[in-house]
Each structure stands twice: as C-alpha cells, then as structure tokens.
Structure 1
Amino acid sequence: MYRQAVITFIDILGFKHLISTSTFEEVSQKLKTIRRLSDVDDQTDGESFEPKIVQFSDSIIRIRPLDSKANKESRYGLMFYEMLDLVHMQGELINHGICVRGGVSIGDVHVDDQTLFGPGFVRAYELESVYANFPRIVVDPALIQQLRKDKRLASTHNTLADEFAYISKNIRRESDGIYFIDYLRSFQTEIDKPEDIPVFFRNHKELVVKNVGGATQLNPVSAKYLWMASYHNSVIHEFNEEFWKREELEITPKEVPMLQSVEV
C-alpha cells in the first residue's frame, strides 16, 4: 500500500566518467564514502527519526513517511530535518570532491525489500532529472505549500511561523524561481570550528576551478560548474569582509575565464 512521505532523489554527478576512468577500488571507495555520508543504514526502516534510504548505482533515495512511528509519537519537524540532513550531506561530499543534484518532494510511495514505486517517487525523480540542471537539490514548491496544511511536517514545539523561519535558513530561491538546498550558506553554521569554514570554501572553490577553470566554451559539463561558481561567489559576497578574507575565497575570472564580464 502507498504511504505519504517526503521523498528525496539524489544523483551523483560525473559517475559515468568516474566508471570509465577509475579502477574498481577507486569507484568502490567513492561509493562507500557517499554511502557513509548519506547515512545509508540497511537497518533503518523509516519508522525512527532517520529516513529509509535506498542506494542503487549512482542514485540515492531517501524516504520519510509522515505516519512513521517516531512522527506519530512526537512530531519532530520532519521536513526541517530532511532539509538539514541534505545540507550536511552536500557539504560533507564537497569536502570529498563529490557533487550531487536532486529533488525533494512529497507524495505517495511504496517501498519494501524488492520494490520502490509511486507518484511521489516519480515526482522527486522528475525534479532531479528535469529541473535541477545544476549541482543543486531542488525543493518542490508543493512541499513548501503542504507545510501550511499538514501538521505532520512540522514540529510540535514550533509555531508555523517558527517552522518556516527554521526551514528558510536551509533553502534559497534561485533567479529562475526554483528553490534549492542552500548548502553553502547553511553548512557554515554546522561546522564546529570557525577556522574550518574557510577550508570548506577553499575545497568548494578548488572543486569548481578544477572542473571548469580551463573551459572556454559552454557545454553541459561547464554549465554545471559555472553555476556552482556563481553560487559560490554569491555566498562569499555575504561574508563580513573584515572577518573573512573574501578575496582569497572568491572565484575570479582569471581562475574561471567564463566568469569574465562583457563590460570593457
């Protein structure tokens, strides 16, 4: 039978290239890292505070049933914690040189030991494959709207206004109107040592420059990393310049020529 759930579909970028250019051991190690940082646990059934997680090839599916045992006993802020988990996952994967894209939605789904299907799963996959386009996890507007209607998505301890305030810290609306997980801004608050925050942004910068720095033509790969460069700089510009050495962390047109302005 179907159960209504928050469903996230995540795809690892560059997996085909990794397969074709790496040894079995290298691919296996990457998948183990992704599995660990995605909190994939074969014992998790989705009834606790943790989601049910399924991994196959380069895809990860996360399922949080609204009627889970944990959420029935104490509404813990199901939507907020899924957003926060995705912030952690993306941030940690960046530190390992791995980019992902995905979609998170709400809908009916069925999952057991052998099958996974349902309109909610199809919608999450559609968000990833059609609308994400870049290394971002798209948040379905329907999920945001449903938060106003379904108390099972929110915490017992918060007002609706509080819940929206907490969730808004983890998502951002792009210029194209699409909401996505704002991992660069949000992950900063999850890092234990303030001195490690610039390290994280340097890792992100190096990942972008490595993959698009020499590109002079727009193609499907360069477009993805060019978006990452623009997102990176937009967050860098929010820094307090006296506290952070912003000029060291910003991605410049010298490093990524495709960022060059048309102005002369």
Structure 2
Amino acid sequence: MKYERRIIGFIDILGFGQLVLESEDDSEKFDLIKGVLEKINSVDDIYGSPEDFFAHSNYAHLSLTAKKEMDEFYESMKAAASPKRVRITTFSDSIVFSCSADSEGLTDFRYFLTKLLVYTSPFKLLVRGGITCGSLIHTNELIFGPAMNNAYYLESEVAKYPRIVVGEDFEDFIAELGEDTLTDLVKRELIRAENETISYIDSLALATNKVAQNMCGANAYEILLNEKNTIETLIKDAPADPKVASKLGWYVEYFNEFLTRKSEVEVVLSHLHGMPLETLMIPLSELRVTIP
C-alpha cells in the first residue's frame, strides 16, 4: 500500500451534531437524522444505476431484451471504472469522499458533489467543507494522509461560513489538466471574493445545473426554494450568538447575489424518452431573503 494522488472533499453538515443531541427525546428529529443519513448513503457517482448512466437515452422504454444488453454494457463499464470511482466514508456529521486525480476522477467527483448538494437540500441544513488534492490512502477500512489533514483544515479553520472552500493544491491540479470543457466549467464554478485569497464552490450553481436536473432529477426552482426556507427557518431559530448571525448573514448575501446573477432558472416540466420535452423559465426575484 502506498499513497495515491487523489481529489478529496471533507464536508460537515452544520447543526447536525445538535440535532443528534436533541433526537433522543424528539422523534421528528430522529426521523430527520435517519432521512439525511439514508440520502447521503444513497449518493453514488455517475455509475449509480443504469437509469442514471443512460439518462439521455430512452432506457425506460426499451424492451426487456434491449435492457438486458444495456445492463450488461453498464456492468462492464462500471467494473472497468471501479478503481477510479468515488470512495466515500461517513462518520457522525461528516462526509469524506475522494477520487483519482485525473480528468475522469474530476468528472465523477463533480457529479458526486452535485448529487450530495441536491440530496441534502430538503433537510433545512447547511454544509461547510474543504476540497483539496494530494497524497491519500482511502479504502473501505482506512483513510489518512496529508490531503485528508489539509481538507479537514480547510473545512474547520478556513471555510468559516456555510461554503465549500478549495485549496491551492486543487486549483493547481485543475491547471495541470489544461484547458478543456471540463476544467473551464469547474473554473467557472469557483468564486473568489475580492478581499480573500481562498476560492469556494458556487454550490447553488452546482445544485441547479443541467447535471443536477438531468441525472439527479432535481428541480432547480425547488432547490432554491428549499434554500430560502432553510435560511428563514435558521434565522428564526438561531440563538443570539454573533458567530451564528455572521454565518447566516454571509449565506444570505451569497444566496441573494446568486439570485441576482441568475435572475431565472429553467425547470423541466416533462420528458420524452428520457430527454426534456417541455421546460419553463421561472424568475427568481421573489425568493430573495431579507434579514429582520
């Protein structure tokens, strides 16, 4: 066994620890925790199922014979890709996931992160995290290495707000891959504030993009409505703690800025043979949040 160069994400679900403490005497909160963990554990990468893998085909309408042939092809592709697929470790309120540091690994990593954001959206919880690239051992039994330490440091010490920051090693890795459609896309999904040296993921853009809609079944407007409800619930229930207020204030500013930047989203109303048939553009200005 030796270190591999891998992309790694360390994600912390904010407020989850308090939920666990309160769940012993509150069945609703117990069910919420159970629902969150079940959703997280069901997140897979791009090879999750034949329906996911052939999302742009008419898979659901194929004959049994044709489906069998497609399933066999899917299994062969999945087996061939197995060494490079996303590896996932969950413990308490944290999720660690990693992929090989190459173009294929970046594709799966981005898809996994998109699906994670989509799946956790309905639960009125925010996430904070760190993403980097470096030396790592990640198996079903073990996870350790300098990259793990760095990702944890980024999440716990650098992120500060409900955002997923990326380290310089990750940005260097993107630069090494060169200019192509994927790296250009990832670069556009990074934000760097004028007064900061750290970049972070444009999480709302990721959770409402075409991948989220076509391969995760996400409704972009519902994702943003969930976020609005989450913010307003957290503001209402937040303790009188300046640190909590600061974190929520930052997220409100990011949320409203995204709505201004995006102005409207496309929602798929119906499909034909797995492809979007009818879509509707919905304006977003009514979703803006104001802090009392």
TM-score tier after normalising by the smaller chain length: 0.7 to 0.9
The answer as to 2:274 corresponding to 1:236 is no
Listed one character per residue, the Cα deviations across residues 113-169 of structure 1 (whole Å, up to 9, x for unaligned) are 4332111110011111111111111111221113333xxxx4xxxx62544312123
Question: Residues of 2 paired with 1:101 and 1:215: CA distance?
Answer: 17
SS at match of 1:134: coil
Is the 1:8–1:61 Cα contact (8 Å) retained in structure 2? yes
Q: State the 1:188 CA deviation.
A: 2.2
- Contact (CA 8 Å) 1:211, 1:222: kept in 2 or not? no
Q: 1:185 to 1:65 in 2, by over 3 A?
A: closer
Indicate the structure with greater strand content.
2
Contact map agreement 1:169 1:186 (CA 8 A) in 2: no
8 A Cα contact 1:83 1:181, kept in partner: no
Q: Matches of 1:189 and 1:63 in 2, distance apart?
A: 22
User: CA separation in 2, counterparts of 1:241 and 1:113?
Assistant: 42
How many angstroms does 1:247 deviate by?
A: 3.3
C-alpha contact (below 8 Å) 2:85/2:108 kept by paired residues: no
1:201–1:108 distance in 2 versus 1, CA, 3 Å: same
Going from structure 1 to structure 2, the CA distance change for 1:250 and 1:110 (only over 3 Å counts) comes to same
Cα separation, 2, equivalents of 1:163 and 1:29: 33
Residue 104 of structure 1: aligned partner:
131
Q: 1:81 to 1:172 in 2, by over 3 A?
A: farther
Residue 57 of structure 1: aligned partner: 92
Structure 2 vs 1, CA of residues 174 and 86 (structure 1 numbering), >3 Å: closer, same or farther?
farther
1:208 aligns with 2:231: yes
In the TM superposition, residue 244 of structure 1 has moved relative to its aligned partner by: 4.2
User: Which secondary structure does the structure 1 equivalent of 2:262 belong to?
Assistant: coil
Question: In structure 2, which of residues 178, 183, 187 is the aligned counterpart of residue 164 of structure 1?
Answer: 183
Distance 1:21 1:200, change over 3 A: same
Is the 1:136–1:181 Cα contact (8 Å) retained in structure 2? yes
Residue 247 in 1 paired to residue 285 in 2? Answer: yes
CA contact 2:99–2:108 (8 Å) conserved in 1: no
How many Å apart are 1:199 and its aligned residue? 2.2
SS in 1 for 2:219: helix
Counterpart of 1:32 (choices 23, 30, 38) is 38
Q: Tell me the residue number matched to 1:21.
A: 22
Q: CA RMSD in A?
A: 3.1
Q: Name the structure, 1 or 2, with higher relative contact order (CA <8 Å, separation 6+).
A: 2
Aligned residues: 235
**Equivalent residue, structure 1, for 2:198:** 178
Deviation track 1:212-245 (CA, whole Å, cap 9, x = no partner) reads: 1476955232222221111100011113479644
Identity %: 25
Going from structure 1 to structure 2, the CA distance change for 1:142 and 1:86 (only over 3 Å counts) comes to: same
Q: Which residue of 2 aligns with 1:222?
A: 245
Q: Which amino acid aligns with 1:250?
A: R
**Letter of the structure 2 residue corresponding to residue 35 of structure 1:** N
Could you give the per-residue CA deviations for residues 35-88 of structure 1, whole angstroms, max 9, x where no partner exists? 22366x9x99x944521111111111112133xxxx6xxx52x23442343133
Question: TM-score w.r.t. structure 1 length?
Answer: 0.76
The structure with the greater share of residues assigned to helix is: 2
Change (3 A) 1:57 1:3: same
Of 14-23 and 182-191, more deviation after overlay is shown by 182-191
Relative to the length of structure 2, the TM-score reads 0.70
Between the aligned partners of 1:179 and 1:79, the Cα distance in structure 2 is: 17
SS at match of 2:246: helix
Q: Aligned AA for 2:199? A: Y
SS in 2 for 1:172: strand
